[in-house]
Structure 1
Amino acid sequence: MAIEKCREYFKEFNMEDRILQFDVSSATVELAAVAVGCEPERIAKTMSFKLDEEPILIVLAGDARIDNSKYKGQFHTKAKMLNQEEVAEFIGHAVGGVCPFGINEGVTVYLDESLKRFTTVFPACGSSNSAIELTIPELERYSNFLEWVDVCKNW
């Protein structure tokens, strides 16, 4: 189970007890905000793309949307999302629980600027009923991100 991968990952840092598990679904931004009890924009959603045939993740604020022209400006290609089967295969978590923790080798993680306006955010933890509250410096550290990008709109 992918949440166990996240639990093992956070065990390295003595943080596995910070993982929140809910009796309700947190598979969408709206559901996660209700489960956590925060504003939807503070949900750190993780989107999966294919870049030059390699999987990448972009973590962005719950109210942000990928801006195709900004994405193309950053990555020099059109945004091409992974389908559900590819997400599970290439990332190691299923849709609804995708996060940058406990992922497969070779997946590059980017953080979007839309997250920087918050003190803490709530990314998923590998399942459709989990999350963890992290500060932005903690998100930077534990996501093993490559760089901050500005590829979103409407926030």
Structure 2
Amino acid sequence: MSLASVTDFFATRAPDIAIQRYATSTATVALAAEALGVVPGQIAKTLSLRLDDEVVLLVARGDARIDNRKYKDTFGQKARMLGLDEVERETGHPVGGVCPFGLARPLRVFCDVSLKAFDEVFPAAGAPDAAVRLTPARLAVLTRAEWVDVAQDVGVAVA
């Protein structure tokens, strides 16, 4: 169902974007970067977080980590990841395929400015062997994301 919902999302909102399937797993940043032949930073990882009683998604470059101070300054609380048992129920996507597209229900999406270091990024597409390629700006527009700065500085991007 998850890959199908992402396929429907792109068919409706961005038919020019193709979902790519890979022979190997893309479930982690390292595996995805290897399968796609890109640097880990270009993998747009989607984190499932809880803000009070709301579930939100944060999309950041693959090699970035949350800066706890920036996160708290932005959201007014400490970052709390969803438990593995909650992720698919809340997003509609399995761990390893979580993305901000084709969600089980509407969730607020935030894109970290760390994504802007790259011309193209590669978020998952609802399955642990699927991804899409698009610009960070297009990612934010398609998901109605708000830009935030909550990742640690990872330095200059190497492509």
TM-score range, shorter chain: over 0.9
User: Which aligned segments of 4 or more residues in structure 1 are displaced greater than 6 angstroms?
Assistant: none
Question: What is the CA–CA distance in structure 1 between the aligned matches of 2:33 and 2:122, rounded to whole Å?
Answer: 9
Correspondence 1:9 to 2:2 = no
Question: What is the CA–CA distance in structure 1 between the aligned matches of 2:32 and 2:80, rounded to whole Å?
Answer: 25
Aligned to 1:152: 151
Q: Check 1:106–1:14 CA distance in 2 against 1; reply closer, same or farther (3 A cut).
A: closer
Q: Identify the range of structure 1 (99-108 vs 18-27) with the bigger mean alpha-carbon deviation.
A: 99-108
Identity of aligned residues (%): 45
1:105-144 matches, within 5 Å, as 105-144=105-144
Greater strand share, structure number: 1
User: How far apart are residue 5 of structure 1 and its match?
Assistant: 0.7
Q: Contact between 1:55 and 1:106, CA under 8 Å: does it hold in 2?
A: no
Aligned to 2:50: 50
Aligned to 2:33: 33
Q: Contact between 2:17 and 2:132, CA under 8 Å: does it hold in 1?
A: no
Q: Which runs of 5+ in 2 are unaligned?
A: 155-159
CA offsets 1:1-43 (integer angstroms, 9 cap, x no match): 2111100110113527611001110000000011111111100
Aligned to 2:95: 95
Question: What is the CA–CA distance in structure 2 between the aligned matches of 1:81 and 1:23, rounded to whole Å?
Answer: 29
Question: What is the CA–CA distance in structure 1 between the aligned matches of 2:92 and 2:54, rounded to whole Å?
Answer: 14
Q: Contact between 1:60 and 1:115, CA under 8 Å: does it hold in 2?
A: yes
Question: What is the CA–CA distance in structure 2 between the aligned matches of 1:20 and 1:33, rounded to whole Å?
Answer: 14
Q: Which runs of 5+ in 1 are unaligned?
A: none
Question: What is the CA–CA distance in structure 2 between the aligned matches of 1:55 and 1:16, rounded to whole Å?
Answer: 29
Aligned to 1:65: 65
